[in-house]
Structure 1
Amino acid sequence: MGELPDERLQKVPPFTYTGMDCFGPFVVKERCSELKRYGLLFTCLYNRAVHIEVIDDLTTDAFINSLRCFLAIRESVKKLFCDYGTNFIGGKNELKRQFEFMSHESLKKYLANKQIEFLTTTPTASHQGGIWER
């Protein structure tokens, strides 16, 4: 058996190292119609705590909005691990593009200090994210 990653062994605040994945759809009833909703699951790699955000669809915009809600609550996030879902890759690219166009230097410095590293698994190897895929 291989060694556990350092992110799983360091004593850190909850959700400093986080794995995320989408699940669903599940059907909810709103007035007279039935709608599909999805869940975005955040799993702390150290103590296995979970945080779930409900999203309307699997688009990049929905992912970024739910990520912003998660980061507003859990400020200690340093690394986000995810699979190679198109919404995750689109969100990663969009955040990177927006970060390059910022002009205010103090805001850039603040975000550079709080910068979160996105790490993805190999495109067809979902078993690499066993902790949050489970």
Structure 2
Amino acid sequence: MNSNGADVGIVLITSEGHHLMSAIHFKFYVTNNDAEYEALINGLKIALKVGVVNLIARSDSELVVNQVNGGFQARGPRTKLYMRCVQRLLEKFGNARLEGVPREENSNADALEKMGLQMDILQLGQIPLGIREIPSIPEVGVFQTQEIP
């Protein structure tokens, strides 16, 4: 995360090989892992919106892929909310799975992220740049509890 916000790139590829790309700028604080989850969540929402039924989602975040697929335990309430959100979205597809992809094979999404970071609309051209003001998950609050005697 930098002082200007964080950015992610999303690339949807149809079975025919067509690319639908999007860049998203977050105006709220996100950790690197939060940004990975936000990218996945927003990509899944785009896929649902355009009517995708069968989906293979790919992420270069080994942590996120393994948490969502049950290989790693999600620690912390915020991470658990992100993980559950992704799992619920995946259930909305007829057939969906999440796979890991090496970072070097994720160059299209990384390039979109860098363009979004520069907020360069001319460079983005026809690629939509979304602005997110709030996280995809509810804020995690801290509550004080008091024991009742």
Return the TM-score normalized by structure 2.
0.41
In terms of fraction of residues, the more strand-rich structure is: 1
Return the TM-score normalized by structure 1.
0.44
Higher relative contact order (CA 8 A, sep 6+): 2
